[in-house]
Amino acid sequence: MEKKEIRFKINGEDTVISIKPNKTLLEMIREDLKLTGTKEACDHGECGACTVLINGVPVNSCLVLAMEAHGKEILTIEGLKQDDRLDPIQEAFIQNTGMQCGFCTPGMIMSTKALLNRNPKPNDDEIKEAIAGNLCRCTGYTKIFESIKDASSKIGGK
Amino acid sequence: MEEINIGDYSLLGKSIPRIDAYEKVTGEAKYAADIELPGMLWCKILRSPLPHAKILNIDISRAKRLTGVKAVCTAKDFKGFRWGWMPITRDEPPLAEDKVRFYGEGVAAVAAIDEETAEEALELIKVDYEELPGVFDPEEALKEGAPVVHDYRPNNISWEFHMDFGDVEKGFKEADLVREDRFATGRVITGFLEPPAAIALWNSSGITIWAAKQSPYFVYRHLAQCFNLPLNKIRVIQPFVGGGFGGTKNDSVAGDFCSVLFSKMTGRPVKFVYKMEEVFLTCRRRHNAIIYNKMGMKKDGTITAMQSRLIADGGAYTAIGPLTMYLTGCISTLPYKLPNFKHDAYRVFTNNPVGAAMRGHGVTHTRFAAEIQMDMMAEELGLDPMEIRLKNAIEAPYETINKVTIFSCGLKDGLLKLKEHPLWKERKKENKDKETISGVGISGVAYLGGARQRGYQSCAAVLRLCEDGTVEYLTGATDAGQGSDTVLTQIVAEELGLSIDHVDIQRVDTAYTPCDAGSYGSRVTALAGEAAMKAAKDLKRQLAEYAAKEWNVSSEDIVFKNNKVYPKHMPDKAIPFRKLAQIACYSGVGAVIIGRGYSQYGIEPYDFEKGIGNAGTAYSFTSQLTRVEVDKETGFTKCTDMIIAHDCGKPLNPGLVESQNQGASVQGLGQAIYEEFVMDRGRTLNANLADYKMPTAVDAPNIEVIHILTDDPKVPYGAKEASEGAIVSSPPSVISAIHDATGIWFKELPVTPEKIALALREKKKE
Ligand code: FES
Ligand code: FES
C-alpha cells in the first residue's frame, strides 16, 4: 500500500510523516512515533486504554485512522508534562493512588484532561460518565474518582 | 496523607504515594509490549478451529515460502516437552501434539518481519483434522462412555481431593435443620488489561526474555526445562506488568516458548503480543464449579456439620488445578466454628479452555455456597443473618479441626462495626418505590496470606549500600500492580531510618535478583516483606559496628532515624546516615556492605493429601455489607454501596490496602452479577470486552473500607493479606442483598437481570 504524507501537531511539535493509509492512529503513535505511553489493550474501542485527544476531544486511537490526524493537534500522555512540571491531573493521580498496574492510567488521565478542560467542576455523575469508556480492572475506580475530584479542586474548581 | 497508627514508625502505616506512580502517570513506564529491539521479528500463533480433534497433518511449506517469513514451528520442534504444576501432571505442550483439546489451542507458529506478514502466513498453514466428539460439561464428562480428553486420565478426573474431619453424619443428626443445595460459580476471567506479551532473545549467553509475568520465576524454570539449559543461562527481565490476578500471568503461555524457539532458530529477537480475543479464547480462566452443599444447624444457629462435593470444570489441561482443589476445601473450616466437615473435590477434564488460579483462588466457590446456605438456613429458622455470623464466628487464638491455626482474627470486630453502620441499621426503613426495590446483604469470610505452594518457597532480599548512603534493593518479588514495590521499599527504609527516596528497588532480573516464588496467594508482603526486614536489619547491624567504634559504645545502642545515626540517649551526637556509610566504605581497604535476608515463615509442612495444616502464614478476615437496587420489571441490578470491614492485621500502607479491597470487591461484583463466558461446544462466543461485561466506572458502587486492626505474630509488623479477602466476600454479600430486595435466593452465578426478571415473574404467579 502506498504511503501518504500527513502533517499534524503532536504534543506541541509539528510533525510530518509518511504513513500507510490503513494504519490506525494508535499504531502510528506507538510504532512510528515511539510514544508508547498510549496503551493498546483491546484494539476495538472497548477499553479506553488508547485514549488520546484530537483537538481536545478524547478518542479511542485504535478506532481512528492515522490520516485523520492531518492538520490536527494531538495530545498524548507524554505531552501533559510542561517543562518537567506535571499536569495537576498527574499530580492528583500520584497523591491519591489513582492507579495500581497503571495500564489504564494514560487513557484514564487523557479522558480526565478532556473532561476538566470542558468542565472544570464536574459532579460525581459527570466524572463517571466521562470515564465510562475507560476500563480499569485493578482499582474498583474509587481512588480514580478521588484523584479526578482532587485534580478538579486544584485546577480551580471548588 | 492518610495515616494509621500501627506502632512507632516513621513510614509504616502511612499512605506513601506509590514509588512507581510518576512513571505510570507520565507514560514512562515500559510494559513488555512497549519494548523493541533492532532486527526484531513478530511471532503469531495458529489456533485450532475445533475443540477436540486429531491432528492428521500440518503443512507449513507454503507459509515458509512467503516473503518475510523467517521461521515456522509446530509441536515437533519442542521434542515432547510438556509442562504442568506437578511432575505427575505435566500434560500441556506449548503447541498441540497429536490432538487439540480445546478451541483456540495453538497448533503452529510463525515468525516474520512484521505482524501483518506473520498473520498472512498463518493463513497459509494447512492443518488436517479429524474431529472427535467433545465433552463440555464437567458432570457429563464424569459419565460412563464420555469422550476421553487425556488417555492418562480415562475417567476424565484430572485431580481429586478429599477431606474428612470429625463425623458429619453425627453432626447432621444433632442438627435441627439440614439443607442440601446445588450452587454454581461462573465462567470468568482475570480480566487484566495488558495482554500477555514478551520479547525473547537467544544468543551465546543463553535466553533473555522481557515478559509480562507476575511470577517470573515460573517461566524461568519452564524455559530451562523446555530448552534444556541451566538456570544461569535463563534471564527473565521484568518490565512493568499490567495486572495479573493469577492464572495466565503466573504461568507460561504458548507465545513464550515459541518466541524463544524462534529466536534460537533465527538468531534474532522475537516478540509476541496476544490480541484481546486470544486472551479471552485461550488464556487461563477461573474454574467454574458446581457445589453440592449440605449443612446442619441447630435452632439457635449453631452449625453442626458441613459436607461439600465440588465438581470443577478443569478444561483441557491440569495447570495449577491440584492447588485449586486443595484451596476449595482447606479453609472451609474458616471463619465459622465447624466441628464436622467432609469435602470431596473433583477437577474434571473437558474440551473447554483451561481452568486455573484467579484471585480468591479456590475459596470463592465453596465460601459462596456456604455463606448463602447459612443465610438460607438462618431465614428458615427465623434468625438474623448478622447474629448467625456473630454466633458462629471464630475468635483467636483458634485451631480448626484440620489444624489451621489462627493467631489473630478481626471477624467479630468487623461484623460488630457493620452492625452499627447506618447502611445496616436503616436497611428496613427505606421507602421502596414502585419500580426499584433495594436490599442490603452481608457476608463474612477468611482468606489465607503468605500462601505456600508445595515444596520450594525461597524468597530473599539483598541490599547494597552505596557509598553516598543510598541503598539498592534487590528482590525477586514482582509488583504486578498491587503496590508491593512501594510497601517493600517502605519496610527497608523504615528499618534503616531512611526516607523512602533513599532506597531504590529493582524490578526482577533473574540474572541479579534473588529467587522468589512469585506474586500469588497474597504472599509478597508477608514473605518478601520478612526477607526485606531481615536484610535491612543485617545491613544495619554491619553499619552499627562502625558507628559503635566511632562512639565507643555497644553496636546494639546505635539508633537509625530520620536519615541520621546516633548512640541511644545521645541524639545530639547524630551524624548523617551518609556520613556513616562513607566511614564504613572508606575505612581500611574499604568495606563492601551487603545486607541479606530470607523468609523463614511458615516452614512447617502441611498435608497436601488430607488438607491438614497451614497453607498460609496468616489469615485475613473480611466482612462486607452490600446494598443493591433492583428494577422489578427488568431485573437490572445496580450495586450502590459496599462497606468492607477488612482485617489485614496492620495496614503498612493504608491507601494501598484500601485500593486492593476496592478493586477486589468490584471484581467480585463482576462475578456476582455481570461476567460470564457464553460457550457453545467449547467455543467462547463473547470473546471481547464489549460482550464480556466487566464493571465500568458507572457500575462501581461507593466503597467504604474500614480497617480492622489486629496483631498477628506470624507476619512482619503484623501485616496480613489484603488483596483476596474482598473478592471472596463480595459475591455472597451481593447475592444476599439481591435476596433481601427480592425475597429470592439465587444459587448460580452470575445473577443476571434475565434471571432476576424471570424469577420475579415466577414469584408473582405463586
Ligand atoms: S485499545 Fe483502543 S479502546 Fe481498547
Ligand atoms: S490500574 Fe490496572 S487497569 Fe487500571
What predicted TM-score, i.e. pTM, was given to this entire model? 0.97
What is the pLDDT averaged over residues B451-460?
Answer: 75
Smallest Cα–Cα separation from A19: which of A36, A9, A10, A31? A31
* B191 CB-near residues (< 8 Å, 6+ apart): A137, B243, B245, B667, B670, B675, B694
In angstroms, the Cα distances linking A14 to A9, A17, A34 are: 4, 10, 16
CA distance B132 to B434: 53
Q: CATH number, domain at A127?
A: 1.10.150.120
- Same domain for A101 and A54: no
Q: What is the DSSP secondary-structure string of B343-381?
A: EEEEEEE-SSSPEE--SSTTHHHHHHHHHHHHHHHHHHT
pLDDT of residue B431: 59
B89 and B53 Cβ atoms separated by less than 8 Å: no
Q: How many domains does chain A have?
A: 2
Using CA of residue B709, residue B710, residue B715, residue B716, what is the dihedral sign?
A: positive
- Same domain for A144 and A120: yes
The ligand 1 atom at the shortest distance from the C-alpha of residue A63 is: 2
Cβ neighbours of B18 in A, within 8 Å: 94, 97, 99
- Same domain for A93 and A36: no
B533 and B495 Cβ atoms separated by less than 8 Å: yes
Is the predicted pLDDT of residue B675 greater than 80, yes or no?
Answer: yes
* B748 CB-near residues (< 8 Å, 6+ apart): B183, B184, B186, B755
* B456 pLDDT tier (thresholds 50, 70, 90): low
How many other CB atoms sit within 10 Å of the CB of residue B90?
15
* B559 pLDDT tier (thresholds 50, 70, 90): very high
| Helix extents (H) in chain A | 25-27, 88-95, 105-118, 124-130, 142-155
How many other CB atoms sit within 10 Å of the CB of residue B119?
15
Per-residue pLDDT tens over the stretch B369-398: 999 999 999 999 999 999 999 999 999 999
Look at B296-300, B561-565, B614-618 and tell me which has the smallest mean pLDDT: B614-618
* A143 pocket-lining for ligand 2 (C-beta < 6 Å): no
pLDDT of residue B429: 65
- Judge: B28–A37 Cβ closer than 8 Å, yes or no: yes
Task: Please identify, among A32, A57, A79, the residue that sits at the C-terminal boundary of a domain.
Answer: A79
In angstroms, the Cα distances linking B625 to B415, B643, B737 are: 9, 5, 8
Q: What is the DSSP secondary-structure string of B513-544?
A: SPP---S-TT-IIIIIHHHHHHHHHHHHHHHH
pLDDT of residue B451: 83
B337 and B388 Cβ atoms separated by less than 8 Å: no
The ligand 2 atom at the shortest distance from the C-alpha of residue B193 is: 3
B43 and B270 Cβ atoms separated by less than 8 Å: yes
What is the number of CB-based contacts under 8 A between chain A and chain B?
Answer: 171
CA distance B728 to B514: 32
CA distance A80 to B284: 37
Per-residue pLDDT tens over the stretch A71-110: 999 999 999 999 889 999 999 999 999 999 999 999 999 9
Cβ neighbours of B482 in A, within 8 Å: 100
pLDDT of residue B181: 98
* A142 pocket-lining for ligand 2 (C-beta < 6 Å): no
3-state SS class at B675? coil
Per-residue pLDDT tens over the stretch B575-600: 999 999 999 999 878 889 999 999 98
Cβ neighbours of B212 in A, within 8 Å: none
- Residue A92 belongs to what domain range? 88-155
- Judge: B697–A141 Cβ closer than 8 Å, yes or no: yes
Locus of grid cell 491438614:
B612
pLDDT of residue A5: 97
- Same domain for A99 and A72: no
- For ligand 2, the distance from its centroid to the CA atom of residue A68, given in whole angstroms, is 29
Task: Please identify, among A44, A79, A114, the residue that sits at the C-terminal boundary of a domain.
Answer: A79
What's the start-to-end Cα distance of chain B, in Å? 56
- Same domain for A111 and A147: yes
Mutate to test the interface with B, among A24, A31, A103, A135 (most CBs of B within 10 A): A103
- Judge: A101–B18 Cβ closer than 8 Å, yes or no: no
What is the pLDDT averaged over residues B537-561?
Answer: 96
Mean pLDDT of chain B: 96
In angstroms, the Cα distances linking B229 to B212, B223, B225, B287, B437 are: 21, 8, 7, 33, 63
What's the start-to-end Cα distance of chain A, in Å? 52
Q: What are the structural domains of chain B?
A: 32-132+195-241+247-280 (3.90.1170.50), 285-452+606-765 (3.30.365.10), 458-598 (3.30.365.10)
B730 and B737 Cβ atoms separated by less than 8 Å: no
3-state SS class at B707? strand
B668 and B699 Cβ atoms separated by less than 8 Å: no
Task: Please identify, among A48, A79, A110, the residue that sits at the C-terminal boundary of a domain.
Answer: A79
- Same domain for A72 and A9: yes
Report the b/e string of B122-145 with b at 16+ CB within 10 A.
Answer: bebbebebeebebbbbbeebbeee
- Same domain for A131 and A99: yes
Q: What percent of chain B has pLDDT over 70?
A: 99
Q: What percent of chain A has pLDDT over 70?
A: 99
Using CA of residue A56, residue A60, residue A64, residue A66, what is the dihedral sign?
A: positive
- Same domain for A109 and A54: no
Is the predicted pLDDT of residue A157 greater than 60, yes or no?
Answer: no
Q: What is the nearest CA distance from B300 to chain A, expressed in angstroms?
A: 38
Q: What percent of chain B has pLDDT over 90?
A: 94
* B707 CB-near residues (< 8 Å, 6+ apart): B4, B646, B648, B651, B654, B657
Q: What is the nearest CA distance from B746 to chain A, expressed in angstroms?
A: 24
3-state SS class at A148? helix
- Same domain for A99 and A65: no
What is the pLDDT averaged over residues B251-267?
Answer: 98
Per-residue pLDDT tens over the stretch B606-660: 899 999 999 999 999 999 999 999 999 999 999 999 999 999 999 999 999 999 9
Smallest Cα–Cα separation from B55: which of B101, B106, B108, B100? B100
Is the predicted pLDDT of residue B574 greater than 50, yes or no?
Answer: yes
- For ligand 1, the distance from its centroid to the CA atom of residue B14, given in whole angstroms, is 35
Report the b/e string of B430-445 with b at 16+ CB within 10 A.
Answer: eeeeeebbbbbbbbbb
Q: What is the nearest CA distance from A71 to chain B, expressed in angstroms?
A: 25
pLDDT of residue B605: 79
- Same domain for A94 and A124: yes
Cell numbers describing residue B80: 515432547
Locus of grid cell 494501598:
B656
Per-residue pLDDT tens over the stretch B271-287: 999 999 999 999 999 99
Smallest Cα–Cα separation from B19: which of B375, B473, B351, B505? B505
CA distance B171 to B261: 57
What is the pLDDT averaged over residues B4-22?
Answer: 97
CA distance B755 to B760: 9
The secondary structure of B542-592, three-state, reads HHHHHHHHHHCCCHHHEEEECCEEEECCCHHHCEEHHHHHHHHHHCCCCCC
A40 and A23 Cβ atoms separated by less than 8 Å: no
- Same domain for A130 and A148: yes
Smallest Cα–Cα separation from B475: which of B605, B620, B598? B598
B762 and B746 Cβ atoms separated by less than 8 Å: no
> For atom 2 of ligand 2, which residue has the closest CA?
A101
CA distance B202 to A128: 47
* B433 pLDDT tier (thresholds 50, 70, 90): low
How many other CB atoms sit within 10 Å of the CB of residue B475?
29
Is the predicted pLDDT of residue A131 greater than 80, yes or no?
Answer: yes
Cβ neighbours of A39 in B, within 8 Å: 31, 193-194, 242
CA distance A109 to B26: 10
Q: Give residues (CB < 6 A) around ligand 1.
A: A 40-43, 45-50, 60, 62
Is the predicted pLDDT of residue A158 greater than 50, yes or no?
Answer: no
Using CA of residue B430, residue B378, residue B739, residue B658, what is the dihedral sign?
A: positive
Is the predicted pLDDT of residue B602 greater than 90, yes or no?
Answer: no
Q: CATH number, domain at A42?
A: 3.10.20.30
Look at B32-41, B357-366, B513-522, B539-548 and tell me which has the smallest mean pLDDT: B513-522
pLDDT of residue B55: 98
* B647 CB-near residues (< 8 Å, 6+ apart): B408, B409, B410, B411, B413, B414, B620, B621, B622, B708, B709, B710, B720
- Judge: A137–B192 Cβ closer than 8 Å, yes or no: yes
Q: Is B655 in CB contact (< 8 Å) with chain A?
A: yes
Mutate to test the interface with A, among B3, B25, B271, B641 (most CBs of A within 10 A): B25
ipTM over 0.90: yes
Cell numbers describing residue B200: 525473547
Cβ neighbours of A102 in B, within 8 Å: 20, 23-25, 29, 240, 242, 481
- For ligand 1, the distance from its centroid to the CA atom of residue B372, given in whole angstroms, is 38
- Same domain for A96 and A70: no
